[in-house]
Amino acid sequence: MSHKSAIATVAFLVAVLLYPLCFPDSYHLGVGISAGAMAVSTVGVVLLLGLAHQLAIGQAAFSMIGGYANAILCVRYGWDPFVAMVAGALLAMLLAYAIAPPLLKLRGFVLAMATLALHLMLIVVAVQVDFTGGPMGVTGIPKFAVFGLPLSDDRSFFWFIWLLVFVAVWVGLRIDHSAIGRALRAIAASEQAAGSVGIDITRHKVQMFVIGGGMASISGSLLVHYLRATDPTVFGFGYSINLITGTIIGGLTSIWGGALGAAIIIFLRELLRELELPLWESVIMGALTVLVLIAFPRGIAGFVSRIYDRVVGGDAPQRVVVTEPGAVALPTVSDPPTLVLDGVSRSFGSLRAVSGVGFTVPAGSITALIGPNGAGKTTLFGLISGHLRLDAGVVRFDGLEIQTLQPRDVARLGIGRTFQNLQLFDNMTVLQNVMCGHHRFGGAGAEQTARDALAFVGLQGAENHDPASLPFGHQRLVEIARALALRPRMLMMDEPASGLNDAETERLSELIVRVAALGVTVLLVEHDMRLVMGLADHVVVMDHGEKIAEGAPEPVRSDPGVIAAYLGQEIPARAA
């Protein structure tokens, strides 16, 4: 546990223990209870919205399920409130699990609208159906009790609720600091890159949707036991907005921030009521949302954390100390794999981007796929890595057909890749970026593997940097290190030299040679003939979507067809 977490935990426990002693009257206890009920669900919002950037704005739908399940089970069937709460949570999680896979394929605003629509549909049901009490709702809900043991006074209910908040925070922190937390941030930053290191995007989104739904449901249950009644307006659009506003104010990227934000929202609302300005609630909540997003996108928790770093020193990044690479030995690959393409084709509309291409990447070789701009190299690359689907043909990796696999499954076979346009996770440090590469092996050992990979590419000392603060050439190295943390048996690099100066290109080609020396089969896409000719032992040339030559570098270089493709075009300046 970090210092910050320890301090936050102590502050939390002290506040929760002292609050009922300092404010023993039922009004203040009630405010604290409402805040706690909301805090249980804002933790879920942090996981879904703050970490994974999934804009599910209808979380109140799940609170509504929990609230109504408790109201109906306790009032009509005499269930124990605690048991009803658990049942409500299970019901919400089951619903979330059922609808999540298709729903979470939707992105951005469409996901937002879909979750909102779900919430609005539930409101209609609550109003229209007699079973839920119609517009009047359900009254006479008992006070909360655990297995028949009633929490009769508000003080014990307060402590019980905040105990649940603590549990929710603990669960949230465990997720945040695990490989799943890194995977969620990776998904938020770039789904393409997340897939390339073997992260199962849908699975992790669904997990968070289900957990968030459960937390929202528990929060709804607790609220109705405090209010002793519920009706369709309790969990309206405003409730969802308050959840999101609270999370934003507290700090989108911090679990503690979620809990803090809920408390702030509730206390603010009560303050406005006391000042007899209840009509202002909407304006102030909306304005706060906008202002915090503009000025402090990481909310109060992010702000406090930054102040702490400044005062105590924190983990301020040291200067990049680029050691001579090679100080560490990465594990070697004993049986280098072969990649075989046969008759691979892909069209975009009437454009045949790749047409009947077949070649072999020999085991342990450095194979270069070259050709002029628009030859179809990057498309072919995407077809192998699983980011594009082919129309016809077969791709075999060590005899296994992989052309129908998703990118994550291609990665899990041990095929690492880098991107032509860098796809680093800009919401994580360099070290965490590289640790994501280790995802297919789980959390244990990720840090050591990542440190080794960084040392191997020559970026020791850059661990705590923000990747965007590094020079461009170093960012390319981070991406290579991330792919190496996958312990690849094959490494695919898409134009790794683009944007590099001569010295950096030189270092890159040394690095590629060292990677190949580990027994890793390397497939390189380049249009820079100079880099390729010095490096590759096998060259495949493409032009206009077709393979025009294949073989050792020297004969390929003097092949008339290749020369025509590179030189014999209208623009002579294109000669490489």
Partner 1 sequence: MDTTVFLQLLLPGFTTGCIYALVALGFVLCANVSGVVNFAQGEFVMLGGMAAAWLIGLGVPFAVAILAATALGAVAGAAQEVLTLAPVRRQPHFIQITTTVGFAVVLRGVTLIVAGKDALSVPGFSGDGVFFLFGAILPVPSLWVWSATVLLLVGTFGFLRYTSTGRAVRACAINLQAARLMGVNAERLRVIVFAVSGATGALAGVVITPIVLASWDAGLSYSTKGFIGAIIGGFRSPSAAVGAGLFIGLLEALSAGYVSSGWKDFIVYGVLMAWLLLQGGVFLRGRVDATVGGP
Residues at the interface with partner 1 (CB under 8 A): 49, 53-55, 57, 99, 101-103, 105-114, 116-118, 120-121, 124-125, 127-128, 188, 191, 201-202, 237, 241, 244-245, 248, 279-290, 293-294, 297, 386-389, 404, 406
Two structure tokens written together for 473: 């050439």
Q: Are 495 and 525 in contact (CB under 8 A)?
A: yes
In the complex, the smallest distance separating the C-beta of residue 289 from partner 1, rounded to whole angstroms, is: 3
Q: How far apart are alpha carbons 191 and 182 in whole angstroms? A: 13
**Based on CB atoms, which residue is closest to partner 1, 99 or 533?**
99
Nearer to partner 1, 131 or 280 (CB): 280
The least distance separating partner 1 from the CB of residue 311, rounded to whole angstroms, comes to: 27
Task: Rank residues 394 and 533 by Cβ distance to partner 1 and give the closer one.
Answer: 394
How many CA atoms within 13 Å lie on the side-chain side of 473?
Answer: 16
- Least CB distance to partner 1 at residue 441 (A): 24
CB of 360 to partner 1, least distance (A): 23
Residue 272 CB: number of other CB atoms within 10 A?
17
CB 348 within 8 A of CB 159: no
Between β-strands 351-361 and 400-401, what pairing exists: parallel, antiparallel or unpaired? unpaired
Q: Which is closer to partner 1, CB of 149 or CB of 400?
A: 400
Smallest distance from partner 1 to CB 156, Å: 36
* CA angle 59–61–65, rounded 5-degree value: 125
Which CB atom, from 33 or from 49, has the smaller least distance to partner 1? 49
Q: Provide the β-strand partners of residue 540.
A: 369, 550
Q: Which is nearer to partner 1, 113 or 394 (CB)?
A: 113
CB of 244 to partner 1, least distance (A): 7
- Residue ranges of E strands in 422-518: 490-494
286/445 with CB nearer partner 1: 286
Of 84, 350, 529, nearest in space to 539 by CA = 529
Type of residue found at 465: H
Would you say 42 and 258 are in contact if contact means Cβ atoms under 8 Å apart?
yes
The continuous run of DSSP H or E covering 419 comes out as: none
- For the bound state, the minimum distance from the C-beta of residue 121 to partner 1, rounded and expressed in Å, comes to 5
Per the structure block, which two tokens stand in for 18? 């002292």
First to last CA, the chain: 54
